[in-house]
Amino acid sequence: MADTVPLCEREAINQESVARVRAALAEQGDSIENDLATFFKLFGDRTRIRLLRALLIQELCVCDLAALLCVTKSAVSHHLKALRCMNIVRFRREGQIVYYSLADSHVEKILALGIEHCLE
């Protein structure tokens, strides 16, 4: 007679796979999940996405970003601070002007892949 227990009510179909994945996740630690959630949450705001898309093209200062996006300098600074805290953007000073750019090629790739995915 065939097993009549529905699949979703079983403990696990492949115990070895579950154990292997559980061990791999434990090796990475719980904090990575919190960091990833915070990281991706920053991509969940339209203004921040617009900032990042602009910085994907060229580094810009707060004033230029504010003019480009038609938002206040204060709003731009607030978003940039959040992005800076998660190492998504970086800055450099040139005299009294602070220029922002994407932090590294990882961020560029994440944005490019997201854009590509949305355009498919």
CB 67 within 8 A of CB 76: no
What is the Cβ-side half-sphere exposure of residue 10, based on CA atoms within 13 angstroms? 10
Chain segment 59-105, per-residue pLDDT in tens: 999 999 999 999 999 999 999 999 999 999 999 999 999 999 999 99
What is d(CA 19, CA 73) in angstroms, rounded to the nearest whole number?
50
Rounded Cα distance between 31 and 52, Å, is: 25
pLDDT of res. 29: 84
Which CA distances in Å does 12 have to 21, 22, 27? 13, 13, 21
pTM of the entire predicted model: 0.81
pLDDT of 4 above 80: no
pLDDT of residue 10: 66
**3-state SS string for the chain:** CCCCCCHHHCCCCCHHHHHHHHHHHHHHCCHHHHHHHHHHHHHHCHHHHHHHHHHHHCCEEHHHHHHHHCCCHHHHHHHHHHHHHCCCEEEEEECCEEEEEECCHHHHHHHHHHHHHHHC
Fold of 7-119: Arc Repressor Mutant, subunit A (1.10.10)
pLDDT above 90 covers what percent of the chain? 74
For the chain, the structural domain boundaries read 7-119
